[in-house]
Amino acid sequence: MKAPLDLKNHRLVICLGPGGVGKTTISAALALYGARAGRSVDVMTVDPAPRLLDALGLDAASAEPQPVPLEGIIDDNARSGSHARLRALKLDPKATFDSIVTRYAPSNAARDSILKNRIYRNLSAALSGVGDYMAMEKLLELYSAPGADLIVLDTPPASEAIDFLDAPRRLLDLLNSRAITLLGLSSGRLLRGLKVVDLAARAVLSAFDKFTGLNLLTDVQGFVESFEGMYSGFAERARRAGALLRSSESIIVIVTTAEAARIAQAREFAIALEAAGLRVDTIVVNRMMPQIPDSAELRDAKVSVALKRKLTRNLKDFQALKERETRALKELRTGLSPKLRMLAAPDLGREPRSLADLAELANNLEIIRD
């Protein structure tokens, strides 16, 4: 039987989808799927909530990669002769930014100046924007490090994911912007090079500094100047991250459920990604209902008439729900590439909360036939 998902030619799986569809759960299940196939896998979530680490039975407070125990989860025969392993981590944007500064600062003095700067401390702790790019930095770090030959990335909900995936381009735009150039100028060069409108802006900021005593302009200018010599490195890594997202080594997986509203969101999201030059490879429909039981079995069952009547009514309700699910899947296909793979992840009848639950999902992924 053909494997539902072939990951042997890929190094990065990017999981996207609306909130509440089990995207983090499926990300973990796909990571287990890769390990089950003999791959050495790192799975990273950018969600500050500890759901991924909780489900894998790991320390939710840690931002370092943690090994996931696979004994009893992956068959020993399957692991024999392979380098199967799984690690999981939760993104810590500030720790990642600090490590980049420490690694790439041109000198110890520059490193200390940046890490102590008030603007930097506030900026590096923010999750919006900075968190997006730090996720890309961490992704490149995992991608470049020896050991992991497959990375699974659990992204923010779909409403934020386009911005998340666009982070490399936005950083390049910022580094090429006139604002960075102006802020990095020393006072003398600034006065010689600024236009009237720029001088007016500086005058306003200077007056604000005198009134509040915050020295905001000095801190901002010191922050920008302290990064001198590092901008080209940020720009180069941003270009690499953007190229990686669009490379043949990467696949994008959209996670959804079969509810009509979620299906519509998934279709719109897939179309938006295609328009942005990001090809969707697979859609995983989570919490799929099992196949309908054979009504003949119920008809021939040796149970009381009253119980048979209740079971018959339940079966009709089940059939109606299954028909609704089938219509939703047909709607999902409309307007999307026929090459797009669709997989079903079963409804376990419970919230997946353990490594065994995730393994059950990974082991029961199925191709949805047209």
Residues of the chain with CATH 3.40.50.300: 12-92+132-165+250-367
Question: Distance (Å, rounded) from C-alpha 71 to C-alpha 9?
Answer: 26
pLDDT value at residue 180: 54
CATH fold of 12-92+132-165+250-367 reads Rossmann fold (3.40.50)
pLDDT > 90 in the chain, percent: 30
pLDDT of residue 344: 94
Q: CB burial class (10 A; 0-12, 13-18, 19+) of residue 270?
A: buried
283, 341 in Cβ contact below 8 A? yes
Which parts of the chain are beta strand (E)? 12-16, 40-45, 66-67, 85-90, 150-154, 250-257, 280-288, 341-346, 366-367
User: Whose CA is closest to 26, among 263, 280, 362?
Assistant: 362
Predicted pLDDT at 185:
46
> Which residues of the chain fall below pLDDT 50?
182-199, 205, 208-209, 211-214
pLDDT of residue 206: 54
d(CA 232, CA 172): 10
pLDDT given at position 235: 87
Cβ 155 vs Cβ 164: under 8 Å: yes
Q: What are the tokens at 290?
A: 């099992």
Length of the chain: 370
